[in-house]
Amino acid sequence: MPKTAYVRTKPHLNIGTMGHVDHGKTTLTAAITKVLSERGTGTFVPFDRIDRAPEEAARGITINIAHVEYETDTRHYAHVDMPGHADYIKNMVTGAAQLDGAILVVSALDGIMPQTAEHVLLARQVGVDHIVVALNKADAGDDELTDLVELEVRELLSANGYGGESVPVVRVSGLRALEGDPRWTEAVVALLDAVDTYVPIPVRYTDAPFLLPVENVLTITGRGTVVTGAVERGTVRVGDRIEVLGADSGPQPSTVTSLETFGKPMESAEAGDNVALLLRGMPRDAIRRGHVVAAPDSVVPSRRFTAQVYVLSAAEGGRTTPITTGYRPQFYIRTADVVGDIDLGDLAVARPGDTVALTVELGRDVPLEAGLGFAIREGGRTVGAGTVTELI
């Protein structure tokens, strides 16, 4: 069956849900698609289709199943439902890096929980500039308590530089909206209106050389190797020569033979688009998550750099003890997860809560550049966030 090509008629934005485990991110995501499908600008994606692993759903040139797409009257959105559990922070970090805005889901029954605060901090660190709040489970909470939760959320946002007084806070019930209760389907519409108006259309970095951090790699029998991810910058067309960077064996040249977004073929993709690229003659084992696909000769992988790093305080879920030279945590850089050695130079120690300049030597070469953000993780939790200042 011939597939309909993707036609760019509305501005495209990437958004996502974030927030503490069980506060209702996936339910709300399903509810949004249900409400919009009833208005004719989206396809309903039920809860269990959103909440399943990519491997199970890998079929055709498809993109990461955690993404759903929909349109409002004025915009086309790719929406990623980020898992709330701390173990999945890595996905949050790599997914959030591309977000133009986020929906912070906070249960009106529970208020701010540790991962609520952690996600807001991470959103700030990875450059998500606009947050809209969904006070979820408003069907089950009482108004007075919900008022308190709203105050608390606005304070948290202000403390992280989000201007909490002006952030839209919408009381919703993902669950009741999914059931079709008109009061709550309207609340979901109000939430989408808030996203439409509060999150500005981003200035895309389309003129720069093409770069896409690899999120997933799939094999399509008879066609070859497909990589998926969000275009970080530049544009890419069918027929373009590219190289895959990040493998120890050096750059792997290839050509893009097919391009898709949400299962629809496209001639060219640009910064911000979520795409699948079919790469000519690329062996499946030559490419994996953490590599990047880039315009030839536009990036040189390296492993030593200086960085500005914020060491999370214990109250933010970080370490209770200082770090010293020789500390060897994991670095999450774009979609890559790589070990690295820290050198504090003349500084004896960096204490939780400190912001310090330091030198990092990664365990392998990674495409790097000044201004790139990263997270530092240890034993399954985030202990720092930083930005590359200079390559050495």
Query: Beta strand 12-18 with 101-107: parallel, antiparallel or unpaired?
Result: parallel
Question: At 107, phi and psi to the nearest 5?
Answer: -70, 125
Residue 319 binds ligand GTP, judged by CB under 6 A: no
Identify the residue among 17, 26, 115, 274 touching Mg ion (CB under 5 A).
26
Phi and psi based region of residue 263 (left: phi greater than 0; alpha: psi -120 to 50; beta: remaining): left
Angle at alpha carbon of residue 59, lines to 260 and 263, rounded to 5°: 25
Residue 79 binds ligand GTP, judged by CB under 6 A: no
Distance CA(293)–CA(270), nearest Å, equals 13
**C-beta separation of 335 from 214 below 8 A:** yes
- The helix (run of H) or strand (run of E) holding residue 174 is helix 174-178
Task: For the CB of residue 14, give the shortest distance to ligand GTP in the complex, in Å.
Answer: 19
Count of chain residues binding Mg ion (CB under 5 A): 2
Task: For the CB of residue 45, give the shortest distance to Mg ion in the complex, in Å.
Answer: 13
**Residue 83 is assigned to a ligand binding site:** yes
Does residue 25 carry a catalytic annotation?
A: yes
Which of these is catalytic: 26, 72, 94, 185?
A: 26
Find the residue with minimal CB distance to ligand GTP. 84
**Residue 136 is assigned to a ligand binding site:** yes
Residue 382 binds ligand GTP, judged by CB under 6 A: no
Partner whose footprint covers residue 137, from ligand GTP, Mg ion, none (CB < 5 to 8 Å by kind): ligand GTP
For residues 44 to 73, the per-residue mask of contacts with ligand GTP, x marking binding by CB under 6 A and - elsewhere, is ------------------------------
Question: At 336, phi and psi to the nearest 5?
Answer: -85, 150
Does residue 365 carry a catalytic annotation?
A: no
Partner whose footprint covers residue 24, from Mg ion, ligand GTP, none (CB < 5 to 8 Å by kind): ligand GTP
Does residue 85 carry a catalytic annotation?
A: yes
Between 134 and 293, CB nearer to Mg ion: 134
> Cα–Cα distances in Å, from 61 out to 64, 212, 264, 300, 341?
10, 16, 9, 29, 38
Residue 118 binds ligand GTP, judged by CB under 6 A: no
Between 85 and 183, CB nearer to ligand GTP: 85
Identify the residue among 64, 91, 116, 136 touching ligand GTP (CB under 6 A).
136
**C-beta separation of 120 from 162 below 8 A:** yes
Task: For the CB of residue 51, give the shortest distance to Mg ion in the complex, in Å.
Answer: 6
* CB-CB neighbours of 59 under 10 Å: 10
- The two structure tokens encoding residue 75: 């915009």
**C-beta separation of 108 from 136 below 8 A:** yes
Annotated binding site for Mg(2+): 26
